[in-house]
Chain A
Amino acid sequence: MPGEILLEARALSKSYSVSTGAFTQSARRALAVDGVSFALERGETLGIVGESGCGKTTLARMLMRLIEPDSGEILFRGEDWLGARGAKLRSLRRRMQMVFQDPIASLNPRLRVGSIVGEPLAIHEPQLSGEERVARTAEILEAVGLGRDAVTRYPHEFSGGQRQRIGIARALILRPELVIADEPVSALDVSVGAQILELLARLQREFSLTLMLISHSLPVVAQLASRVAVLQTGRIVEIGAAEQVLGAPQHPYTQALLAAVPEIPE
Chain B
Amino acid sequence: MATSLEVRGLTVELPTPGGWVRPVNEVSFTLGEGETLGIVGESGSGKTMLSLALMGLEPHGARHAGEAWLSLRGAGNGDGGKNGGARNAARANLLTISQNEMRALRGREIAMIFQEPMTALNPVLRIGAQVEEAIRVHEPRAAESEIQRRALQALQRAALSDPARRARQYPHQLSGGLRQRVMIAMALAAGPGVLIADEPTTALDVTVQKQILELLAKLRRELQLSMLFITHDLGVVAQVAGRIAVMYAGRIVEEGPVAEVLRAPRHPYTEGLLRAAPRLTREKLVPIPGTVPSLDALPPGCAFAPRCPHRVAECDAAAPELRAVNKNHEARCILVR
Contacts and interface: CB of A to CB of B under 8 A. Distances in A.
Contact of B234 (A217, A220, A246, A264): A264
Interface in B215-252: 232-236, 238-239
Interface string B280-291: 111001111101
Contacts of A265: 238, 259, 262-263
Nearest to A158: B291
Interface of B: 42-43, 176, 205-207, 209-210, 213, 232-236, 238-239, 259, 262-263, 272-274, 276-282, 285-289, 291-292
Nearest to B44: A189
Contact of A51 (B205, B279, B286): B205
A219 B205 CA distance: 13
B231 to A, nearest CB: 9
A259 to B, nearest CB: 8
A36 interface: no
A260 B210 contact: yes
A87 B19 CA distance: 57
B236 A191 contact: no
Interface residues of A, number: 35
Which secondary structure dominates chain A's binding surface? Answer: helix
A204 B144 CA distance: 64
Interface of A: 51-52, 159-162, 189-195, 197-198, 216-220, 222-223, 242, 246, 256-266
Contacts of B259: 265
Contacts of A217: 206, 278
B238 A197 contact: no
Nearest to B172: A22
Contact of B262 (A161, A222, A264): A264
Contact of A194 (B205, B282, B285): B285
A190 B232 contact: yes
A219 B291 CA distance: 22
Contacts of A162: 291
Contacts of B272: 191
B205 A264 contact: no
B239 A258 contact: no
Contacts of B274: 264
